[in-house]
Amino acid sequence: MGSLFSFSKGDVDVQNKHIDGKGEFFVNSGVTNRGIKGKTDYPAKIFPAGTITIDFFGNAFYRNYRYKLATHNHVFSLTGECLKNDSIGPYLIGAMAYLPKKYAFSNMATVPSLEREEIMLPTQEDGTIDFDLMTRFITAIEKLVIEDVVDWADKKIAATKQVTNIE
């Protein structure tokens, strides 16, 4: 991962008491609400959209919005040329799905350990990363999810009509 990403962290110890519903999202460690604790206008470094965060448990999330990070909870922001669009980020997160099985409170993910991690990515015949395939894959998954939601909504409408005797 060290060859794919640049790692950085927050510059101020933003805390829960600084959450005021204004400004940028405040990202902390954890999976609840993807680590988002709320919004804050407390002065701190703002990370750009189109980046990935990984906390010390190995939980990785793609962020397509600006945010601030906690410094005391070991959350890192990953940037790099590989994050070419909003489809590549989710694909990379999928490739990092094994990280929470490897890291825990007793074995925290750190920048040096994450830089040594290897993730499996599709490659072209010349050995370069196949970003086009990654984009097509995520787009296909999105289409399948939309199809499933439409199916579910149709079934819900049909069931509601049947229960209420509405035609």
Threshold 0.85, pTM exceeds:
no
Q: Is residue 52 part of a domain?
A: yes
Are 92 and 41 in the same domain?
Answer: yes
| Residue at 131 is within a domain | yes
Q: Which of 105, 120, 135 is the last residue of a domain?
A: 120
Residue 150 confidence (pLDDT) = 84
Domain count, the chain: 2
- pLDDT tens digit string along 100-127? 999 988 899 989 999 999 999 999 999 9
Instruction: For residues 77 and 21, state if they share a domain.
Output: yes
Burial of 89 (0-12, 13-18, 19+ CB in 10 A): buried
**Domain around 78:** 6-120
Each residue's pLDDT tens digit, 36-88: 999 999 999 999 999 999 999 999 999 999 999 978 667 788 888 888 888 89
Q: State whether 57 and 97 are in the same domain.
A: yes
